[in-house]
Amino acid sequence: MTLTLLTACIFLLHLLGILTAMHAVVHTRTPQGAIGWVLGLVLLPYVTLLPYLYLGASRFSGYLALHSTTLTTTKAPAGDRSVEPGCERFASIAALQGRPFLAGHALRLLIDGNAAFDVMIAAMASAERCLLVQFFIFRDDALGRRVQHVLLERAAAGVEVCVLFDGVGSRDLPHHYIAALRAGGVAIHPFATHRWRNRFQLNFRNHRKIVVVDGVRGFVGGLNVGDEYLGLKPPLAPWRDTQLELRGPAVADLQRLFAENWQWITGTQPTLLPTPRCDGIASALIVASGPADTRETASLFFTAAIDAARERVWLTSPYFVPDAAVRAALQLAVLRGVDVRVLIPSRPDHQTVFLSSTLHAHQAVRAGVQVFRYQPGFLHQKALLVDHDSAAIGSMNLDSRSFRLNFEVSALIVDRTFASQVEAMLEADFARAVRMDESEYHEAPYLRRVAMHVARLFDPIL
């Protein structure tokens, strides 16, 4: 009897595995991913069925409908000035976003955690009507309590304070931190959903960092709320990162993105304030991406930006795991004589992705890309510089997780003055970096080289 029951269970698991494999063939985005899931689900369903619920399925139809509705009902702020002519090179990115570049922005480049958080916390403290705050990571440490204090103070002053954090990125955040904010009148929620089925989608994370103060000032970049982002936690200290402050019509797009996430989670809309006219002249486009997109937006963004380069394209990212499209764009840029540089860390925060990044960097070096390793500490900034007039700052990494699995946001700026500031910042970074050559791979121990190739097998989820 026991043997018969066991046989029936095994048969049922394999049947479920075959049915789930059919779902994987239809819905997995890449052929490699589909092959991996099919083999696992058919041959070892008792091992792979549960992980597929967490890692393989994607159910964002409701979010997609909400996103489409928001795009059609939210008008872009009127611009009083013509955008920079250089914006024409990025027409495909604007079409991808369904929104035009807008002129009339004032910008401030915020380099590293102390300077950035001093400005952001002061901006939060100045909120009078509505404060929208979203980070991938919140920690209950000194910086986390500074942010908590200003959120509570603003809520006590009658300001509408809405806070989002990622449930996985902030998995160590204690309940009492959240409870104290809620008790003080702050509306705070993790990026999860009341739809029970979506609770399994742990592989899709909200990696965005957005702060909007009264619809006037907006912030995007790579920083999260934790002491390590101030460079206070060895061995990754000092921590190298960048944030961007914007004033102007693009702030309305940051509000809209926050509102989409907020409505997806809570079913309600936060207050959306009109964005006033700004005296700045820079042109900007907010580039948003996520697993709900019908296209691989982040990968297409990098590919189009690299293809637009005629003189140089400089990229910085903590993780260098480019897909085939981005690899090809980098190689073609080298072939047409563009100065292509990539800055990555010399210290790992995640060993698997570091090993895969090292192999990809080696292959890029062989293709003529100049790859540099930042030496003083961990490099976490996500910056892009194209020619002498365009730059982007945001949350997008050069990896499959940012390309396909995470919700991300960056600001693409066309303005010579701002690009020159980013150039100076990156030149200082390259001055503190060591250029890679092929010896890093060839002189590595054999088992380490094997480990690099094994790590590359996990590229789709890195």
**Domain-embedded: residue 247:** yes
Q: Are residues 67 and 47 in the same domain?
A: no
**Is 427 found in the same domain as 303?**
yes
Query: So what's the pLDDT on residue 73?
Result: 46
Q: Which of 140, 362, 380, 459 does the annotation list as catalytic?
A: 380
Active-site residue identified among 67, 105, 207, 362 = 207
28 plus 69 within the same structural domain: no
Nearest Cα residue to 316 out of 428, 418, 213, 445: 428
338 and 242 share one domain: no
In a shared domain, residues 138 and 269:
yes
Q: Of these residues, 105, 360, 362, 382, which one is catalytic? A: 382
Same domain, 190 and 301: no
Strands 160-165 and 187-190: parallel
Residue 349 in contact with residue 406, Cβ under 8 Å? no
Residues in the chain: 462
Judgement on whether residues 109 and 173 belong to the same structural domain of the protein: yes
* Token pair of 274 as six digits: 């009109």
Q: Is the bond leading into 238 cis (omega within 30 degrees of zero)?
A: yes
The angle subtended at Cα 295 by Cα 246 and Cα 309, nearest 5°, is: 55
Cβ neighbours, 10 Å, residue 126: 15
How far is it, in rounded angstroms, from Cα 405 to Cα 412? Answer: 21
Task: Decide if 75 is catalytic.
Answer: no
In a domain, 28, yes or no: yes
Q: Which residue, of 247, 280, 313, is where some domain finishes?
A: 280
| Inside any domain, residue 288 | no
| pTM for the structure as a whole | 0.89
Residue 234: inside a domain, yes or no?
yes
The verdict on 50 and 68 lying in the same domain is no
Instruction: State whether 40 and 116 are in the same domain.
Output: no
CATH of the domain at 135: 3.30.870.10
Same structural domain, 129 and 152: yes
Domain boundary among 245, 280, 315: 280
pLDDT of residue 446: 95
In a domain, 7, yes or no: yes
Which range marks the domain in which residue 46 is found?
2-55
CB within 8 Å of 108: residues ≥ 6 apart: 119, 244, 245
Same-domain pairing of 247 and 327: no
**Would 97 be classed as within a structural domain?**
no
Look up residue 397 and give its amino acid.
N
252, 280, 308: which is the final residue of a domain? Answer: 280
Say if residue 30 is in the same domain as residue 75. no
The question of whether 214 is a catalytic residue gets the answer yes
Residue 416's contacts (CB-CB under 8 Å, 6 or more residues apart) are 388, 389
380 catalytic residue (yes or no): yes
Location of structure tokens 């955040």 = 173
Q: Is 387 labeled as catalytic in the residue annotation?
A: yes
Residue 70 domain-assigned?
yes
Q: HEC states along the chain?
A: CHHHHHHHHHHHHHHHHHHHHHHHHHHCCCHHHHHHHHHHHHHCHHHHHHHHHHHCCCCCHHHHHHHHHHHHHCCCCCCCCCCCHHHHHHHHHHHHHCCCCEEEEEEEEEECHHHHHHHHHHHHHCCCCEEEEEECCECCCHHHHHHHHHHHHHHHCCCEEEEEECCCCCCCCCHHHHHHHHHCCCEEEECCCCCHHHHHCCCCEECCCEEEECCCEEEEECCCECHHHHCCCCCCCCEECEEEEEECCHHHHHHHHHHHHHHHHHCCCCCCCCCCCCCCCEEEEEEEECCCCCCCHHHHHHHHHHHHCCCEEEEECCCECCCHHHHHHHHHHHHCCCEEEEEEECCCCCHHHHHHHHHHHHHHHHCCCEEEEECCCEECCCEEEECCCEEEEECCCECHHHHHHEEEEEEEEECHHHHHHHHHHHHHHHHCEEECCCHHHHCCCHHHHHHHHHHHCCHHHC
Query: Which among 214, 253, 293, 459 is annotated as catalytic?
Result: 214
Q: Does 93 reside within a domain?
A: no
- Which member of 105, 209, 360, 362 is catalytic? 209
Based on the structure, what is the number of domains in the chain? 3
User: Which residues of the chain fall below pLDDT 70?
Assistant: 1-3, 29-30, 32, 54-81, 193-203, 462
**What is the C-alpha to C-alpha distance for residues 92 and 114, in angstroms, rounded to an integer?**
36
- The active-site residue out of 140, 387, 415, 459 is 387
> Which letter, b or e, does each residue of 424-454 get, where b requires 16 or more Cβ atoms within 10 Å of its Cβ?
ebbeebbeebeebeeeebeebeeeebebbee
pLDDT at 83: 86
Q: Residue 180: what pLDDT?
A: 98
